[in-house]
Structure 1
Amino acid sequence: MIRTNNLRIAAEIPLVSPAELAREIPLSDRAAETVAESRNRITSILRGKDKRLLAIVGPCSIHDPEAALEFAERLKVLSDQYRDRLCIVMRVYFEKPRTTLGWRGLLVDPGIDGSYDISRGLRIARRLLVQINDMGLPAGSEVLDPIIPQYIAELISWASIGARTTESQTHREMASGLSMPVGFKNATDGDVQIAINAIVSAANPHSFVGIDRQGNTIVLRTTGNTDCHLILRGGKHGANFDRLHVREAAQKMTEAKLHPAIIIDCSHGNSEKKPERQALVLKDILAQREEPDSPIVGFMIESNLYEGCQNPNPGGEGLRYGVSITDPCIGWDATAELLHEAYERTTIAYE
């Protein structure tokens, strides 16, 4: 018989099941408490019941767990200090979508060497998430591969769907079943309607093929996720954080019968990927927040221990500690200054 299947598959490598990984690296009581409380707080912010400003802050991507933990420890201090006005979530991104080729993230290629030791990447990612949540600091992450949430979603308080995948039916279905609030970014060309359509879709029930905790292939039936919102991140035609774009996006959400909750990404198209411009974006956001009925509920900052970025060498050799290997970030001192300014200009406080 002529062979017609797996003609381009080089290898089939067994992978640990989600249940096995959870037994190996269990969710602690402290981590579970952090996730549950922060998800409730974020949901209240999105629904307008809690007027704290949501701040999603951290590296463009995680490649060094040691540096990530140091960043988390520093961010936890500010989270506690500013908790009455800000809800701070650490950006802990393990997967990176690529326009063509490039490093795909710690979870997929933890060795930064093209070995794609995904089993090791899953273990590093889950252990790091447990450690961060054990500090009492919530974690947010982009969900890219639809299988991965079974391994780490119980440790994520907020998730995003990226600009390249917002239009994907697979990601809309996945978001409809996720247990945390989910933000959809506008498309890379700046199209906001695509993200609004995604929010409407994800709010409704879906049925799709996935895996269970034992790794078995199953049909997942979801209830729909009503805690989805819009992220404005700019596009190839320019920024969209200004008052006009924000109000237009809010109007489109209202017309779609959605509560207009909007987070502004201070990086990407809104800063032209120039990290120092994130401060200018945030200042504009804070001014808009002072206006009545502002739909802005939060912001995102790409930040690391040290500013800038570096090209990843094979195997991670010679990398500078605490410096991004993907998009350029602002450093810690600038991060602390921006969070302080956000705190000072967010006047509604909670106990």
Structure 2
Amino acid sequence: MNSSVAANNLSDLPSRPVTLIDSHPAPQRLPSTLALKNQVPLDAALIAQVEAHRRSVRAILNGEDTRLLVVIGPCSIHDPKSALEYAERLASLATDVSDQMLLVMRAYVEKPRTTVGWKGLAYDPHLDGSDDMAAGLTLSRHLMREMIRLGLPIATELLQPMAAGYFDDLLSWVAIGARTTESQIHREMASGLPMPVGFKNGTDGGVAVACDAIRSAAHAHRHFGIDRHGHPAIIETQGNPDTHIVLRGGHSGPNYDAQSVGKVNASLDKNRIAARIMVDCSHANSGKDPLRQPQVFNDVLQQRLAGDNTLIGMMLESHLFEGCQPLSESLRYGVSVTDGCLGWEGTEHLLREAVNKLRYR
């Protein structure tokens, strides 16, 4: 547009102020992130514990700690009671394997939906479509705090950037999903997070998008956002150096095998990105069959035992009992309502067997 046209258009604008009338129904307001944190606070000991867990994850990423990072737990949390029972079992197991593994519990309270469906505990804690998000945020924060009190580091996938501030002080590791890794908003968010972040490869199985995300998140950004008081604000980030790629397979099949991992390492080297790779043993890598996760896990473990130290960790979907179930009025205890999971018995056997291999390699 030339300047004369622009000037003419501007002169046509009304000179009198216009009062806007909001005829839309008033939305339900949520507490600010600061208000909820004050309502469900962390004491000094728990704050120090979270910081220590983050340092441990960073040390693994940087090769200073040779343990295997294992992010494990339910695909999503829908029942606080069964989630806490799982957490108690995992905390006990974490102590037994701590010389070889750092276990981080999945506390996933948001779930991405391809079309429609249950979006997670933070959205619909009553599982009835009422979408009581105020209650969901509060319940999710309470639950995460109880997991931390058990001594566990916890992880989640941050799907809605506005929700991140309600949980960011609780988390030791964060995932950015395959569908949001390409999002500028999520890359900006990751650049300001105080914990390590794993970017999943795209749904096509390619890693170029994740490489771009890692490079973007490492840089400082200024972006639109919400401050801790709930006001629109310019958010300024410093950049996050503690990021890495998560391989989850794609439309063309799995990408955890040695040949695929070698190609990923070549891509990381070409983009001057630190070679640190986590493998998601679920999703396309397992053909969406939860009972194939141990096969994927053991294949990756063998690559690591053979000397590939770029494989710093793995992710498993696991619950008290294997499989999954649809939402209904009569739910089976300890069974996922989203993706199918490995049961606890199989999970414990898999990890104890792996630890023995790591100890006596």
How far residue 346 of structure 1 moved from its aligned partner, in angstroms, is 2.1
Aligned match of 2:239 = 224
Give distance in 1, aligned partners of 2:22 and 2:262.
Answer: 50
Aligned match of 2:117 = 102
How far residue 30 of structure 1 moved from its aligned partner, in angstroms, is 3.2
Aligned match of 1:79 = 94
Give distance in 2, aligned partners of 1:20 and 1:236.
Answer: 42
Aligned match of 1:21 = 36
Q: Is the 8 A contact 1:30 1:136 kept in 2?
A: no
How far residue 348 of structure 1 moved from its aligned partner, in angstroms, is 8.8
Task: In structure 1, list runs of 5 or more residues that go unmatched.
Answer: none
Give distance in 2, aligned partners of 1:191 and 1:10.
Answer: 44
The range that moved more, 290-299 or 251-260, is 290-299
Q: What is the TM-score of this pair, normalised by structure 2? A: 0.92
Asked if 1:42 is matched to 2:42, the reply is no
Residue 341 of structure 1 aligns with an amino acid whose one-letter code is: E
Aligned match of 1:176 = 191
The range that moved more, 338-347 or 220-229, is 338-347
Give distance in 2, aligned partners of 1:275 and 1:118.
Answer: 30
Alignment of 1:291-330 (within 5 A): 291-313=306-328, 317-330=329-342
Specify whether residues 242 and 4 from structure 1 end up closer, same or farther in structure 2 by C-alpha distance, changes over 3 A only. Answer: farther
Equivalent in 9, 12, 19 of residue 27 of structure 2: 12
Residue 340 of structure 1 aligns with an amino acid whose one-letter code is: R
- Return the structure number with greater relative CO, CA threshold 8 A, min gap 6: 1
Alignment of 1:180-259 (within 5 A): 180-259=195-274
Residue by residue over 1:294-343, the C-alpha shift from the partner in whole angstroms, topping out at 9 and shown as x without a partner, is 31000000000001100012xxx211110000000010000101111221
Residue by residue over 1:115-137, the C-alpha shift from the partner in whole angstroms, topping out at 9 and shown as x without a partner, is 11110000011001111111110
Specify whether residues 343 and 309 from structure 1 end up closer, same or farther in structure 2 by C-alpha distance, changes over 3 A only. Answer: same
Q: Is the 8 A contact 1:178 1:225 kept in 2?
A: yes
Specify whether residues 5 and 168 from structure 1 end up closer, same or farther in structure 2 by C-alpha distance, changes over 3 A only. Answer: farther
Secondary structure, counterpart of 1:219 in structure 2:
strand
Asked if 1:162 is matched to 2:162, the reply is no
Secondary structure, counterpart of 2:359 in structure 1:
coil
Residue 278 of structure 2 aligns with an amino acid whose one-letter code is: I
CA RMSD, Structure 1 to Structure 2 (Å): 1.8
Residue by residue over 1:192-251, the C-alpha shift from the partner in whole angstroms, topping out at 9 and shown as x without a partner, is 111111001100111111112211211111110000000000111100000011111111
Secondary structure, counterpart of 1:311 in structure 2:
coil
Residue by residue over 1:132-187, the C-alpha shift from the partner in whole angstroms, topping out at 9 and shown as x without a partner, is 11111010000011111111110000000000101000000000000100000001
Residue by residue over 1:38-91, the C-alpha shift from the partner in whole angstroms, topping out at 9 and shown as x without a partner, is 100000101111110001110000001111100000000011111111000001
Residue by residue over 1:248-285, the C-alpha shift from the partner in whole angstroms, topping out at 9 and shown as x without a partner, is 11111111111110000000000011011001001101
Asked if 1:60 is matched to 2:72, the reply is no
Secondary structure, counterpart of 1:147 in structure 2:
helix
Task: In structure 2, list runs of 5 or more residues that go unmatched.
Answer: 1-17
Secondary structure, counterpart of 1:154 in structure 2:
coil
The range that moved more, 28-37 or 82-91, is 28-37
Secondary structure, counterpart of 1:345 in structure 2:
helix
Q: Is the 8 A contact 1:46 1:297 kept in 2?
A: yes
Specify whether residues 5 and 235 from structure 1 end up closer, same or farther in structure 2 by C-alpha distance, changes over 3 A only. Answer: farther
Residue 341 of structure 2 aligns with an amino acid whose one-letter code is: C
Specify whether residues 3 and 344 from structure 1 end up closer, same or farther in structure 2 by C-alpha distance, changes over 3 A only. Answer: farther
Q: Is the 8 A contact 1:173 1:202 kept in 2?
A: yes
Give distance in 1, aligned partners of 2:299 and 2:25.
Answer: 51
- Calculate percent identity across the aligned residue pairs: 47
Secondary structure, counterpart of 1:344 in structure 2:
helix
Specify whether residues 339 and 158 from structure 1 end up closer, same or farther in structure 2 by C-alpha distance, changes over 3 A only. Answer: same
Residue 27 of structure 1 aligns with an amino acid whose one-letter code is: L
Specify whether residues 5 and 160 from structure 1 end up closer, same or farther in structure 2 by C-alpha distance, changes over 3 A only. Answer: farther
Residue 29 of structure 1 aligns with an amino acid whose one-letter code is: A
Aligned match of 1:122 = 137
Asked if 1:33 is matched to 2:48, the reply is yes
Equivalent in 339, 344, 358 of residue 332 of structure 1: 344
Q: What is the TM-score of this pair, normalised by structure 1? A: 0.95
Alignment of 1:112-151 (within 5 A): 112-151=127-166
Specify whether residues 247 and 60 from structure 1 end up closer, same or farther in structure 2 by C-alpha distance, changes over 3 A only. Answer: same
Give distance in 1, aligned partners of 2:133 and 2:355.
Answer: 39
Aligned match of 2:8 = none
Specify whether residues 347 and 5 from structure 1 end up closer, same or farther in structure 2 by C-alpha distance, changes over 3 A only. Answer: farther
Specify whether residues 5 and 106 from structure 1 end up closer, same or farther in structure 2 by C-alpha distance, changes over 3 A only. Answer: farther
Bigger Rg, which one: 2
